[in-house]
Amino acid sequence: MADLRLALLLTAVSPAVGGVLVRGEKGTAKSTIVRALAGLLPEVAVVRGCRFACDPAAPDPQCPDGPHAPDSPHYRRPSALVELPVGATEDRVVGTLDIQRALADGVKAYEPGLLAGAHRGVLYVDEVNLLPDHLVDLLLDAAAMGRAHVERDGVSVKHAARFLLVGTMNPEEGEPRPQLVDRFGLVVNVAAPRDAKDRAEVVRRRLAYEAGPDAFAARFAGDERELAARIVAARERLPHVALPDAELDRIARVCLAYGVDGMRADIVVARCAVALAAWHGRDTVTAEDVRDAARLALPHRRRRDPLDPPGTDEEKLDEALAEADAQQREEESRQDGDGPDSDSGPDSDSGPDPDSGPDSGGGPDPDDDPPPGGGPGNGGSAPDDRGPAPRQSEGGAGPDDRDPARPRTDAAPEPDNPAGAAAGAQAPAGAAYRTRTLSIARRGTGGHTGKRSPAYARRGRVIGSRVPQGKLAGAPHLPATLRAALHRRGGRGEGSVVHPRDLREAVHVGREANLVLFVVDASGSMAARKRMTIVKTAVLSLLRDAYQRRDRIGMITFRGHEADQVLPPTSSHEVGVMRLASLRTGGRTPLAAGLRTAAATITTERRRDPRRRPLLIVVTDGRATSGPDPVSVAPALAGVPTVVVDCETGPIRLHLAGRLATALGADLMPLDALEAGAGTHPVRKAA
């Protein structure tokens, strides 16, 4: 909590730092501490009648309600705290044309959005990881530029939008895109206290607040006034804080050693270090300020692959800081010497330089971890597009464990329990590759914005018009509106007036996100001849594709005599990668149990979220050596868009996956056909 408190105070001192993203599990008071920040901010003077909160001392020359005279009447009010809900629409965020007034009165009226309301205050986004990507882009662009630019519905408006952007999220519900996390200046991880005394004090204060809110607030009013005064003093000192060249060089070295991309990290660390110096009452940035700023601004910028597990990696940051210090000492030592050979000649009394060894940053450290060689989820290198690993033919050595009384569909050329599989062998995944896009052919209702299946949406290609259900939800369709008005007047166009009942809205087609449910065969036959490595690589590649398309994912595996829901439907794709990496193989093949579990999972998710369509991906060779015939379970999955990925390999093939696909009405795709290159693959059956 100390880091969160400091990060929020620094953004209050210098909004140019770029906002704060708070990551923490449920019940850690993220929202409470963010809402408390607004009460510490100083009051602001606002031009009376201005909907955009212009400062009378420096009004925005482009204010839509302006221009404001220097002596315009004004008043003072507390800094605003505007909360943006997850279900907000784009027109509510940036503002839009007042279409009802435009059609009824013939005037172009602009209705401001939440960005205008948050100007010179705090914009708080709870569950920012669940916010649609295009809305997050709007927020972060406005926070970075200090202005909102609206170009929609025939309206072109620019207005000031300088605010403290604070987002909170629960990592269990999924990670936002790394590109978006990078746009936040500071990222802080919070957790519930682990000390019993601290937890007891939290409960004690909560009970005291519930017993008497006014008395509780009065108890801490003095501390709040002191913090508010300190923020004002730090803001006044901020323009006069000096950032020495030596500390600026240290910032650049730390960012290079830490391996960040781009220049945003350097700028944020510099701004944060200046704010730290101002907060502590200093006029010059120190090395300690740079170290603290780097700890808040850098850790979240080091992630290379979108499915790498998140974390601050404090140890790596300490190494980067130590390497930067060593480089700076080495450079200072060279500058203090008499010449290039003053400390390196054979007669030098200085001896070997302690900072010139492997730990100084000048060369590789023999004690460093070797570069990883596998894919994400098994400690590997960044994935590439090389495709799946080469396949090897699989022999049929070993006894077959099928029941002699079962149909011939249970037969297979390789053993179902090779050596080592009985104990639950764990195969690594290879480097992920770019897959073909599996999508549902039929259009959905667009309940969840994404990039997978076609759906009716609020944005995208216009394909027609319709009468709005209640208030206009999307953009107006002007030609259809005029046609409706002319039709109402019997085709007489002269002097025709458009009434609100003539209004038509545009129908857009875009893309939606789906629930991608994986059913993976983890039986002993999958462990033969490294087949599971190939399968894991394919599933890992599909997981990455689901992440990029903003899908929810779930995973079911089957082996032995039962199926296991190893990953309930979630938006946390990183958890899916970890569950895949720990997946073990061995035992018989209860394919029917896996399908039954998938049917139950889809039924539950449909009750929970009827607008999200499922896409079932079954990864199997079609063998079933335990339980009933999987064909008997097919009716339970009727109407579910399904793809059967056939992972059968070897010189002898039984084509049992094709039999399963026929029973499910599913599309059949060989494992080696998943790699990108053939474009989108629409799944015919629609829910």
The residues annotated with a catalytic role in the active site are 264
Instruction: Name the one residue in this structure whose structure tokens are 């909907």.
Output: 51
Comparing CA positions, the residue from 564, 526, 244 lying closest to residue 394 is: 526
Give residues with Cβ within 8 angstroms of 232, minimum separation 6. 42
552-559 and 81-84 as β-strands: parallel, antiparallel, unpaired?
unpaired
CA distance 266 to 493: 62
CA distance 486 to 495: 10
Comparing CA positions, the residue from 303, 234, 304, 245 lying closest to residue 272 is: 234
How far the first Cα of the chain sits from its last, in Å, is 46
Count of residues making up the chain:
687
Comparing CA positions, the residue from 571, 656, 653 lying closest to residue 605 is: 571
Q: Which residues of 20-56 are buried (b: 16+ CB within 10 A; e: fewer)?
A: bbbbbeeebebeebbebbbebbeebebbeebbbbbbb
Rg over alpha carbons for the chain, rounded to the nearest Å, is 31
The answer to whether 591 and 663 have CB atoms below 8 angstroms apart is no
Beta bridge partners of 667: 643
Grouping H, G, I as helix, E, B as strand and the rest as coil, residue 103 is helix
CA distance 214 to 210: 10
H-state helical runs in 1-132 = 2-13, 30-38, 90-94, 99-105, 114-117
DSSP 510-573: EEE--EEEEEEE-SGGGGGGGHHHHHHHHHHHHHHHHHHTT-EEEEEEEETTEEEEEEEEES-H
Comparing CA positions, the residue from 334, 321, 355 lying closest to residue 247 is: 321
Grouping H, G, I as helix, E, B as strand and the rest as coil, residue 234 is helix
Grouping H, G, I as helix, E, B as strand and the rest as coil, residue 322 is helix
Comparing CA positions, the residue from 18, 587, 600 lying closest to residue 272 is: 18
CA distance 95 to 116: 8
Beta bridge partners of 156: 151
